[in-house]
């Protein structure tokens, strides 16, 4: 019965919703530790050089796009493209926007806005809105390049120069996040994942990538995290606007933000598009969730709730170098 209700909701929303335009891209807005019951706990930490959303805010101050727009030789990634934007140098923090403090083995949520990429999807983009890769290192450099790390560092720490490792993989779409708009995915999710407006998210529900920090992370000094969102343009569309609003299981999949792939299509990358955020974590011996049994509290306030499936598996997306995974790799974790 609930699946039927969702289908009707999606179909109605699809018929009434006008076309929307994505006007912003994404970066990590804040970091929070996660308690054993799945609740995010402050104080929050931030990416390096973070600029808050005050009046007159310019997204270019926090955003790092690789390859950048306007490159003379086109959308080509260069070997010297840096992992971090120029303002995100090691240790660049302010008292207003400090780094997160966390202990080895703690669970941490990296929260970001979907900005329409999930709820107003483009047909030429990957299913699940691309993949988020999370890398960690105790030896960061301001000269770290994307191509020396991305899809090179591995979970066992043996990839590339062995200075770091792949900590987690996630779908950009976490299966529940939304920007409030009148698109059918947003309308469906607003009904499924209700929450009261609350700062800093407002009425939106931000996306999250929850990750367990390494047990061998130092309790003193800093540990660096690289968040890499791989969101290329594909040669064959992974969603068809004429078939997205359908009946039965297809409507349910669309409501959850999982596009309907065309039959007999084999997409390949045509234009690379990667976004990164760089952040440091201050080590501490005061653990919040490390070494404790998880007991996720269902029905808690979604403004501060982690996602249960992400707490037990760092590799929800199966990529080369990730190691074994115990969870499905293609569909965002969600429960109806």
CB 32 within 8 A of CB 40: yes
Pairing of strands 164-171, 131-137: antiparallel
User: Could you tell me the mean pLDDT of each successive run of 10 residues in the chain, 336 residues long?
Assistant: 40 40 77 98 97 74 92 95 97 97 98 94 90 98 98 97 98 97 96 95 97 97 98 71 40 50 65 97 95 92 97 92 49 32
Q: Which residue matches tokens 């955003």?
A: 63
pTM check: above 0.75:
yes
CA distances for 105 relative to 31, 47, 92, 139, angstroms? 15, 20, 24, 18
What does the pLDDT read at residue 250?
A: 47
Spell out the domain ranges in the chain.
Answer: 2-311
Residue 110: which of 177, 39, 33 has the closest Cα? 33
List CB contacts of 311: < 8 A, sequence separation 6 or more. Answer: 34, 38, 107, 210, 212, 294, 296
Give the model confidence (pLDDT) of 39-96 as tens digits: 999 999 999 999 987 776 677 788 899 999 999 999 999 999 999 999 999 999 999 9
CA–CA separation, 319 and 62 (whole Å): 27
Is residue 130 left, alpha or beta, with left meaning phi > 0 and alpha meaning psi from -120 to 50? left
């Amino acid at each position: 019965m609930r699946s039927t209700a969702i289908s009707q909701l999606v179909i109605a929303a699809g018929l009434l919703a006008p076309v929307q335009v994505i006007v912003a891209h994404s970066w990590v807005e804040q970091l929070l530790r996660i308690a054993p019951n799945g609740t995010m706990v402050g104080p929050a930490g931030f990416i390096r050089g973070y600029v808050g959303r005050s009046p007159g805010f310019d997204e270019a101050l926090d955003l790092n796009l690789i390859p950048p727009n306007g490159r003379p030789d086109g959308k080509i990634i260069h070997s010297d493209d840096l992992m971090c934007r120029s303002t995100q140098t090691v240790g660049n923090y302010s008292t207003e926007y400090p780094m997160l403090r966390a202990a080895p083995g703690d669970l941490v949520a990296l929260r970001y806005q979907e900005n329409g990429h999930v709820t107003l999807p483009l047909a030429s983009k990957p299913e699940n809105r691309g993949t988020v890769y999370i890398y960690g290192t105790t030896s960061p450099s301001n000269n770290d390049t994307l191509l020396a790390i991305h899809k090179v560092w591995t979970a066992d720490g043996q990839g590339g120069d062995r200075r770091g490792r792949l900590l987690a993989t996630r779908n950009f779409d976490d299966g529940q996040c939304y920007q409030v708009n009148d698109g059918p995915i947003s309308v469906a999710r607003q009904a499924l994942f209700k929450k009261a407006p609350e700062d800093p998210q407002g009425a939106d529900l931000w996306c999250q990538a929850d990750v367990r920090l390494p047990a061998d992370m130092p309790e003193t000094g800093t540990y660096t995290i690289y968040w890499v969102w791989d969101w290329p343009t594909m040669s064959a569309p992974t969603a068809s606007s004429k078939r997205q609003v359908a009946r039965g299981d297809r409507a349910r999949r669309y409501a959850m933000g999982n596009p309907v792939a065309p039959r007999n299509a084999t997409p390949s990358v045509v234009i690379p598009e990667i976004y990164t955020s760089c952040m440091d974590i201050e080590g501490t011996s005061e653990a919040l969730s490390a070494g404790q049994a998880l007991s996720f509290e269902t029905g808690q306030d979604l403004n501060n709730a982690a996602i249960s499936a992400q707490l037990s598996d760092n590799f929800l997306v199966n990529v080369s170098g990730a190691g074994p995974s115990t969870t499905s790799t293609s569909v965002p974790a969600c429960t109806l």
